[in-house]
A and B are shown apart, each in its own frame.
Chain A
């Protein structure tokens, strides 16, 4: 009976956050399949610890952090084998150029841009999700933006 209640709570939690987490993982990975896989992995991990997660002050923040890590792992593994981002995402010329410029950045640079520019995360949140010191986040964001500007210039 109690397990059923916990599962119902999880299902409600899942429905409330599924789209946001898909958007987050998609911003990081840039393709539907990886985003879907990373999102599913994140929810599976949360479900495994659901009894503890539901008691947290912000289960959503924990979920976002786990999802970002899953997406970054996917981005890293995919970049080694298949550097292209999803070609069917958007068709405007700017978006095509952005996608091509992003795909030439390092996975961690793509991820940090997605979290800072795309999702508007704080330095503390990025620090926790990417497991880097908070003081390093600003310089990494700056370096990623500079790298993006250079690639953008090459693409235009």
Chain B
């Protein structure tokens, strides 16, 4: 057959095409879904772990600071000592003399 009309040739071309059948395709499709589900669970697990770690770091950073607590206690003691006349108030802050 030798069609003169290019569109006839095109139509014949399409009807003569026979793709290879892929017998393994269904198995791959089902495996793909299964592996994507596993990747999703792994991803969610990693996200949850990262979230817990981030919250832990935030909680650690926001913990009550012993250093600032000590400084406050020292300041209160010094204030009480000044008030009691045990020490003199220095002209420069933070320096006291007996």
A residues neighboring B (CB under 8 Å) = 7, 11, 14-15, 18-19, 22-23, 25-27, 32, 35-36, 39-40, 43-44, 47-48, 89-90, 92, 94-95, 97-99, 101-102, 113-114, 117-119, 145, 148-149, 152-153
Q: Taking A98-B9, A117-B7 as contacts, is the C-beta distance between A22 and B14 under 8 angstroms?
A: no
B10 touches A32 (CB 8 A): no
A27 and B26 contact, Cβ closer than 8 Å, known pairs A48-B33, A98-B10, A152-B6? no
**Minimum-distance CB pairs A-B, first 4:** A118-B14, A26-B19, A152-B6, A98-B13
Q: In the complex, A153→B22 CA distance in Å?
A: 36
Tell me the residues in window 9-26 of chain B with beta carbons closer than 8 Å to chain A beta carbons.
9-22, 25-26
B17 touches A26 (CB 8 A): yes
Let me know if B32 is at the binding interface, CB within 8 A: yes
17 A-B interface contacts by CB (under 8 A): A11-B26, A14-B26, A18-B26, A22-B20, A25-B19, A40-B22, A40-B32, A90-B16, A94-B1, A94-B2, A95-B16, A98-B13, A102-B10, A117-B7, A117-B10, A118-B10, A149-B7
> Does residue B3 face the partner (Cβ distance < 8 Å to A)?
yes
Given contacts A44-B32, A90-B13, contact A22 B21 (CB under 8 A): yes
Contact A36 B22 (CB under 8 A): yes
B13 partner, pick from A19, A95, A119, beta carbons under 8 A: A95
15 further interface pairs, Cβ-Cβ under 8 Å (given A43-B26, A92-B16, A152-B6): A11-B26, A23-B18, A35-B19, A36-B25, A39-B22, A40-B32, A47-B30, A48-B33, A90-B16, A90-B17, A94-B9, A94-B13, A95-B12, A145-B7, A153-B6
**A85 CB to nearest chain B CB (Å):** 10
What residues of chain B lie closer than 8 Å to A40, measured between beta carbons? 22, 25, 28-29, 32
Question: Would you call the interface of chain A mostly helix, strand, loop, or mixed?
Answer: helix
Residues of B participating in the A interface, judged by any CB pair closer than 8 Å: 1-3, 6-7, 9-22, 25-26, 28-30, 32-33
Closest chain-B Cβ to A148's Cβ sits at a distance in Å of: 6
Measured between alpha carbons, how far is A94 from B17 in the docked complex, in Å? 13
Decide: B29 and A43 in contact? CB cutoff 8 A.
Answer: yes
Q: Which residues of A contact B17 (CB under 8 A)?
A: 23, 26-27, 89-90, 118
Q: Which residues of B contact A35 (CB under 8 A)?
A: 19
Q: Is the CB of A149 within 8 A of B14?
A: no
